[in-house]
Amino acid sequence: LALQPDLLVMDEPTASLDRDGKTGLLQLLAELRERQPFALLMTSHEINAPTGFFQKRLAITGETLAEGD
């Protein structure tokens, strides 16, 4: 983030965090994006990620790609 990227890719950043840790990470990312806009591509096996945080969510099941709400 020090180099002010246009895109930040995060692979399973919340995988080993508890609920408070996940919430804290998402809040931190939201604050950083307000100060320094960047696109965020985040992969996760957690289908219940907060919907308000993301502009678009995609789910892959087997060979099927579905757009989430």
Percent of the chain with pLDDT over 70: 88
Q: Can you tell me whether residue 46 is helix, strand or coil? A: coil
How many Cα atoms occupy the beta-carbon half-sphere of 28 within 13 Å?
9
Instruction: Tokens for 14, please give them.
Output: 């919340």
Dig out the tokens for 2 from the structure.
């020090």
Measured distance CA(53)–CA(29) in Å, rounded: 9
Q: Is the pTM of this model over 0.75?
A: no
Over the stretch 53-69, which tens digit does the pLDDT of each residue have?
A: 778 877 777 888 877 65
- Give the integer Cα–Cα distance in Å for 30 and 15: 18
41 or 67, which is more confident:
41
